Chain A
Amino acid sequence: MADETRPEGMDRRRFLTVLGVSGAGAAAVAGCSTDKVEKLVPYLVQSEDQVPGVATWYASTCTECSAGCGLHVKTREGRAIKLEGNPDHPVNRGKLCAQGQSALQALYNPARLAGPMARQDDGSFTPVTWDEAIATLVQKVQGAAGKVAVISGAGRGSFSDLLAAWTSKQGGTLVRYQPFSPDPLRAANQRIFGTAELPQFDIGRARYILSFGADFLDGWISPVEQQRGFAEAHGSATLTMAKHVNFAQRMSLTGMNADEWHQPRPGSEAVVVLAMAQVLLTERSGNPADANALRGALAAYTPERAQQESGVGAEVIRRIAREFASAEPSLALAGGIPAQHRGAIDLCAAVNLLNYIAGNLGQTVRFGADLDSGDGYGALVSLIERFDRGEVQLALVHEANPAYAVPQTSNFAAAFQKVGFRVSTSMYLDETARLCDLVLPNHHALERWDDARPRRGVTGLMQPVMEPVFGTMPTGDLLLKVSQKAGGALAEFSAPSWEAHLKAQWAKVVAGDEGWRAALQHGGVYGATPVMPVRLASTAGAISAAAPAFDGPEGDDTFFFAPSPSLLGDGRFANRPWLLELSDPVTKITWHSWAELHPETAARFDLREGEIVRLESPHGAFEVPVYVYPGIHPEVIAVPLGHGHTSYGEFAKGRGVNALDLLSAKDGQGFLPYQSTRVRLVKTNRWQAVAKTEGTVRQLGRGIADAMTLDQASRGLSPALAAKEHGHEAHEVNTEREVEAIEGWRASQLEQRKHGAYATEQPMWGMVIDLAKCTGCSACVTACYAENNIPFVGEAEVVRGREMTWLRIERYWEGGENGEPLEARFVPMLCQHCDAAPCEPVCPVYAAYHTPDGLNGQVYNRCVGTRYCANNCPYKVRYFNWFAYNKTAFPEPLNLQLNPDVTVRARGIMEKCTFCIQRIRGAQNTARLEDRAVADGEVTPACAQTCPSEAIVFGDMVDPASRVALAGRNHRGYHIFEDLNVRPAVTYLAKVLHRSEA
């Protein structure tokens, strides 16, 4: 790795030298040595909105999932370098998730196609020109009327309208499908409320949250909005704090953030919900009249029956039902992948009833915002059947990858190849594109005009924020060009360009040029979301909760198979090194697949972490290393979804296994039943190192992730007092002599403050992290990678413990033994910028030192790589650059993403969190120009900026009125390893548990 001789990475210097426009590629030799000839190439025509060295921001919309969050795109010298949420946008209000942050690695992905490709007879692809490609497609379109099929993603907007019109003009079929689409929820809504719409879940208003396999913190429906809501409801740490109870076989990130976690037997959730509904109907007055009519139908579903079927105690069910009923408003959620078995519609229907009885409709569950019901999995299955019968002449696949994301048993690949001519618009040669005759890569969303309608009343706009990286073409332009050349029924698509077409659509929505410009500036048009009242439908009384069927035999060595959503989503994020290296919030594993086994199972089969096991189902088999996980039902084995690509770029290809390979594609009910298979566990007696960032999983009394009960929080106890109440021993106390030494040292520190640059009045930068709000989602980690040019190191180096995450999310387990409930605690761990930093005095070259404004500085050009500082750091937040990651981690064109304000570190130096010093210095520069002081809130590090829970506050601790000083005075505040007396600048606020024990 170290021997690689790649061209020097793109840095600030080279950014500035490459200022040429109009495609006049300006070659430049980078380097700071004065011996080298370096070129300075100014623009031919200066763009009015670009000033070198100053960021230009554009409003746009995130297209990574169909949630449609608003973006602010930071560009420097014509390159998008950072994404941040748009604070005006009602969906995400300025925040982004890890996947949204990583969109830049899709834009600059080395696997992107540079132009149109045609498949040769031997299966290889050769480049063709756009003119040739369009001519070929026109010819195919002309002969295919009535035999056209289009598969597209679920995104809604002007483009999907155009695509629908374009398809229907040719008498074709459009199937808008995306994996993880909540089809069972739609079916249940149809059954109970007579509408197939998805409701808006207002988690923020709920005072009690019950989730049944609805993984609303794991990427379900609208991740950022849901997480913000959850932080509002659950992170307040006051008596109004909501309680969150999770019912799932596997403790996902959602379950880890629950106050109570119960494990019903797979497929038995609906009975538990109906039992709760029954309790509500029998014990609570004031239920809706039409709900009372269901008493008879529900009478059979007693908590005792639920206990028998699910294994969850009847008294527990009763208690939770009563708590749920007494909290107003409350919210019950179902419809996620973790409970998408063949009984999923029954489960969602039961939850609908529970919400209806509790009076949550119109409160926390609001219908009326969903724009259309999309096409479910069923539509895709019937299209595959039509492919198989040879009824389709021309197929176009847009923003979908069914060859990967639908189980092999669906026969998609074979059926698709019976289509006469197959076209993909994928930006990558993914599994489906590989089956196509022609691949016509689309522009990335940051390179093109587009819009997105995530819900009624909200339309997000996208604009090109930079010149395209490759020779791609917006699919809108492609459709228009093909239509105009093909003529006939398609001649009516006469817009000169996709941009003109889009603007014409918008002219109907916004008033004139001014309205258009305002929409562009704000990233879209945000109106009120309508609310539609719903009543119980006539079909609501047909209550059923039959035990769902599972494929595969029962036996001692068989388990319920639980494919679980991961950071890689439905697989679309699998080619982004940031997300591959980002440790899974639950298991802390990076880069590869794993199988989660309960410790009992592992003991029974004599399996240890890393042992490779073979999982066999009636539909397929694969081998995968074991991860022993206490948070999983003993009868279940979970494998993350999203890995195991056979194509899709070098980062994704051949990495891990595709959990879908073990599934049956048979639906029968219009959705893909993810949780419907039993697998046989076979030992292989082979082993692989698990690339995980997990250290010691227990706190061992070190007081790293403190917590207290809601009762204690409301009494204003400090974490130390709260711990004392629970009979935990106080942390180690210093001896008298030690205290004397500490005090003397502190005095000398204060004395030093009077000298030189330190004597002036300076801010003291500090941070407060509220663990009551932090959910462990890890968006901050990816934001940190993006902002600070952090290299990925790869699987082998992670195994050696050499990951470079300046900010990491530590996860600790509590309980889980002797009948105590298992509980997860998260701590975002970053450089604590200690006042008395242990790293500073041991540096022989003064590379680690304390700045006058309270930062723990790290001067890269001084560092000689002794690593003494890392050895002396109690928090393990200093990371050594072992190899020339600056040359290996940013293969072109990923280097175009690098932040020019941050040094790209070379081999042999120590690096760590800087509190985003480039943002601090930037704000100070701006304030100086304007002859004012830096205002509170003007400096926000990348992690705090993106945190969907708003758990991180940053600012000047000297200013008593600053938000950070205010938050730091909270009674829940504590410092990690306080007894070391290193005086960290990061204050944590203890987590609050909504139960009696902490």
Chain B
Amino acid sequence: MRKLLIFGVGTLALAFGAMAARTAAPPDPPGAGDTVSAWVLAASDTANLKGPRQPIFFRHDIHVGVAKTPCQYCHYSAGESSEPGMPSVQSCMGCHLIIGGTDTTHQVEISKLRDAWNNKQPIEWVRVHTLARHARFPHQRHIKAMGPNACQTCHGDIARMPQVFKVNNVNNMGFCITCHVERQVNRDCTACHY
């Protein structure tokens, strides 16, 4: 497991490194059909973004949309557990030990991460999706049934979100049931409520 992790971190670091080199010049404009909003967002732009403000302006649009990092690289337990798992600061540092950001706005955010690591302070992210405590959502079964990239079915097009916001109300049972009816799968109450 650890070996795999180190290997993964290495590979990813290389990928990011290459990307950083590539984008040292003015960043690639968003490709056709790729609406990753803007490579660099000014503070005035971020004020209009939906979703809660996070302690670090973590860019899912860059990590997923541009760097094509698989969701489960960071949310490592989604395929094996009911909980998706949140990356530890150490996981982040696996890449960001090397990748420092190409732009001052990026560098500022990455330095927050490095400070957290150096000060041994975990990062207190603001929760976006909170499941009601009387419901169970086994992530692993949904990944199993719908594939490793099915996350956007519920969480929306994360790859285009500079700041993650709630696309679907996961606590709206109708949202769950619609899908379960369409796919003709378990609709028993105690599948989720116990």
Interface residues of A (CB under 8 A from B): 11-13, 16-17, 19-22, 24, 26, 30, 32, 34, 37-46, 48, 51-54, 756-757, 849, 851-853, 855, 857, 859-862, 901-904, 914, 917-918, 921, 925, 928-929
Contacts and interface: CB of A to CB of B under 8 A. Distances in A.
B190 A855 contact: yes
B90 A45 contact: yes
Contacts of B83: 16, 51-53
B126 interface: yes
B126 A925 contact: no
Given A13-B131, A44-B88, A52-B83, A26 B124 contact: yes
B81 interface: yes
Interface stretch (B21-29, B31-39, B132-140): B132-140
Interface residues of B, number: 49
Given A39-B125, A42-B125, A46-B88, A861 B134 contact: yes
B193 to A, nearest CB: 5
A919 to B, nearest CB: 10
B130 A42 contact: no
A762 to B, nearest CB: 9
A461 B139 CA distance: 36
Contact of A857 (B2, B171, B189): B189
Contacts of B138: 921, 925
A24 B133 CA distance: 25
Given A44-B89, A851-B188, A918-B194, A32 B132 contact: yes
Interface in B160-194: 166, 169, 171, 186-191, 193-194
Contacts of A925: 82, 138, 140-141
Nearest to B86: A42
Helix, strand, loop or mixed for chain A's interface? loop
18 contacts: A13-B133, A26-B122, A30-B133, A32-B132, A32-B134, A39-B125, A43-B122, A46-B91, A51-B76, A51-B77, A52-B77, A756-B187, A757-B187, A851-B189, A853-B188, A857-B188, A918-B194, A929-B80
A40 B126 contact: yes
Nearest to B74: A42
B121 interface: yes
Contacts of B135: 861
Contacts of B133: 11-13, 30, 32, 903-904
A24 B190 CA distance: 36
Interface of B: 1-2, 52, 76-77, 80-83, 85-91, 116-117, 120-127, 130-136, 138-141, 144, 166, 169, 171, 186-191, 193-194
Given A914-B194, A921-B136, A38 B189 contact: no
A21 B89 CA distance: 11
Contacts of A928: 141, 144
A30 B132 CA distance: 10
A44 B120 contact: yes
A44 B124 CA distance: 11
Contacts of B171: 32, 34
A860 B83 CA distance: 22
A552 to B, nearest CB: 57
Contact of B134 (A21, A903, A917): A903
A859 B88 CA distance: 35
Closest 4 CB pairs of A and B: A53-B83, A53-B81, A42-B86, A46-B88
A45 B88 contact: yes
Contacts of A24: 120-122
Nearest to A925: B138
Given A903-B133, A903-B194, A852 B90 contact: no
Contact of B122 (A11, A21, A54, A929): A21
Contact of A39 (B76, B87, B127, B190): B127
Contacts of B189: 849, 851, 857, 859, 862
A26 B127 CA distance: 14
A9 to B, nearest CB: 10
Contacts, number: 146
A48 B77 CA distance: 12
Contacts of B186: 757
A43 B140 contact: no
B127 A42 contact: no
Nearest to B173: A861
A938 to B, nearest CB: 16
A12 B130 CA distance: 11
A421 B62 CA distance: 66
A167 to B, nearest CB: 41
A794 to B, nearest CB: 24
Nearest to A23: B120
Contacts of B127: 17, 37-40
B89 A34 contact: no
A195 B110 CA distance: 73
A288 B134 CA distance: 68
Nearest to B125: A40
B120 to A, nearest CB: 6
B194 A42 contact: no
A41 B130 contact: no
B141 A929 contact: yes
Given A24-B122, A44-B89, A54 B141 contact: no
B52 A37 contact: yes
B126 A39 contact: yes
Nearest to A24: B122
A44 B116 CA distance: 9
A11 B132 CA distance: 11
Given A37-B127, A857-B190, A917-B194, 20 more contacts: A12-B133, A17-B127, A20-B122, A22-B120, A34-B166, A37-B126, A38-B126, A39-B125, A40-B124, A42-B122, A42-B125, A44-B122, A45-B88, A52-B77, A851-B189, A857-B188, A903-B193, A914-B190, A917-B190, A918-B194
B90 A46 contact: yes
A479 B2 CA distance: 37
A852 B134 contact: no
Contact of B85 (A41, A48, A51, A853): A51
A24 B116 CA distance: 12
Contacts of A54: 77, 80-81
Contacts of A22: 120
Contacts of A17: 127
A32 to B, nearest CB: 4
Nearest to B144: A929
A945 B186 CA distance: 28
Nearest to A788: B194
Contacts of B90: 43-46
A921 B194 contact: yes
Contacts of B140: 925, 929
